[in-house]
Structure 1
């Protein structure tokens, strides 16, 4: 594959960082969008551009797109959860924030960056969803956002497929990332009992699936969701 320009939201840590590293190894140029880069080891590395942006502020996305320029591959990876809030005690501002980051921003970025992809008759879009969007989650709005992202993947696969663009997503069960600090030890222990190998996924395992969908995946694989949960939700 020839050198591509790849935008990775949340590419500064966790799954996103693993994707960023893998894309660099394949010889691509990457643009990482995140709120901060204090611990990102890729700052200053050749073919890496880092752009600070708070994706919860949807009105900044047009300016972000202008700064990024045209891309060939979009990885909508940024997301977070806040399980400390219960369904009956969820501040409106926190609900709006998580919906913006986990659902509305990815959809808007697909709208914006697919325009150039349509012109060049080529593009790859991969969304990071979650098992939470399939079986529910204590953080109700996280689950709702991820369910919406899975459905958005199907919709945009249909809308963009005839333009040479594939849109797919992955739905991982819990992964060993900083996000786990928001989960209780009891919940983590109980979930591991449902997994065939009794452990959470490693970021690199999820990244391999994302990178394949964004690169070598045939165009007939479009609008799908790859479950990555080690038999915790077989279907």
Structure 2
């Protein structure tokens, strides 16, 4: 079991405009980099108290870090218990942590397949299950699962990854049917190609080829994905649940 480490960052979240404490505790898994980092920064800027379950790395200012591996149920439970003790009940969960092990179908090993599902799908389940306990008591909550256009559109060499992301749709819709009457929503955000360190490392001709397939003609900024996540966690989206929101510049056309 990985021991939670709330001291990973010490900066306090900013106060609201009236000086009052932030109204909600938000957990964003995998906030050390990429999309997760941008999501966490957005919630911090809005005055929320933000915590993350992560495996290491530098965190944005104002984010409270709890080191935990989402493949370990005991570690997830311990991290949430520490967050609740330190910060208060969790009202928003953004399940963002994910990994890839790309490879062609005929060369993909059992371990390559199961390892990706254990983080992206089962790891998400572990976090949702634990966060939902507190949300049920509160009779309110927002669950946002970070999927991918690949989960709907498919991708060569990504049978494991696309399977894990497609399954999040069924998860969100089942949660909606189970917990919708308790004021809890569950939705999926499905980003397309996003400007991250991974896409920046691609050869320029490869990037250009990808962009020609995107009607918007460009990759998304991570903050554009974060903005949609923030909306789904807001009061304005209280009647949106079981939805899949693409943020892909038209690449998948909702499919």
Report the equivalent of 1:63: 78
Report the equivalent of 1:50: 65
Would you say 1:27 and 2:47 are equivalent positions? yes
* Alpha-carbon distance, 1:191 to partner: 2.1
* Alpha-carbon distance, 1:94 to partner: 2.7
Report the equivalent of 2:151: 133
Report the equivalent of 1:11: 31
CA–CA distance in structure 1, aligned partners of residues 92 and 245 of structure 2: 18
Report the equivalent of 1:225: 244
SS in 1 for 2:100: coil
CA–CA distance in structure 1, aligned partners of residues 158 and 201 of structure 2: 10
CA–CA distance in structure 2, aligned partners of residues 68 and 111 of structure 1: 15
* Alpha-carbon distance, 1:17 to partner: 1.0
CA–CA distance in structure 1, aligned partners of residues 184 and 245 of structure 2: 18
CA–CA distance in structure 1, aligned partners of residues 236 and 220 of structure 2: 22
> Structure 2: which 5+ residue stretches go unaligned?
1-15, 17-21
Q: TM-score, structure 2 length as denominator?
A: 0.83
On the 8 A contact 1:168/1:223 being kept in 2, the answer is yes
CA–CA distance in structure 1, aligned partners of residues 68 and 129 of structure 2: 18
Render the CA deviation track for 1:153-188: whole Å, top value 9, x for unaligned. 111111111010010111111111133368676654
CA–CA distance in structure 1, aligned partners of residues 196 and 72 of structure 2: 24
SS in 2 for 1:72: strand
* Alpha-carbon distance, 1:58 to partner: 4.0
Report the equivalent of 2:174: 155
Structure 1 pair 184–108 and aligned structure 2 pair: CA distance change class (3 A): farther
2:121 pairs, out of 103, 107, 111, with 103
CA–CA distance in structure 1, aligned partners of residues 233 and 243 of structure 2: 13
CA–CA distance in structure 1, aligned partners of residues 82 and 114 of structure 2: 25
Q: May I ask how many residue pairs the two structures share in their alignment?
A: 229
On the 8 A contact 1:131/1:173 being kept in 2, the answer is yes
SS in 2 for 1:217: helix
Structure 1 pair 64–96 and aligned structure 2 pair: CA distance change class (3 A): farther
Report the equivalent of 1:87: 105
Render the CA deviation track for 1:127-160: whole Å, top value 9, x for unaligned. 1000010011221100000000122111111111
* Root mean square deviation, CA, Å: 2.0
Would you say 1:175 and 2:161 are equivalent positions? no
* Alpha-carbon distance, 1:121 to partner: 0.7
Structure 1 pair 57–181 and aligned structure 2 pair: CA distance change class (3 A): farther
* Alpha-carbon distance, 1:57 to partner: 3.3
* Alpha-carbon distance, 1:11 to partner: 1.2
CA–CA distance in structure 1, aligned partners of residues 120 and 153 of structure 2: 17
Report the equivalent of 1:165: 184
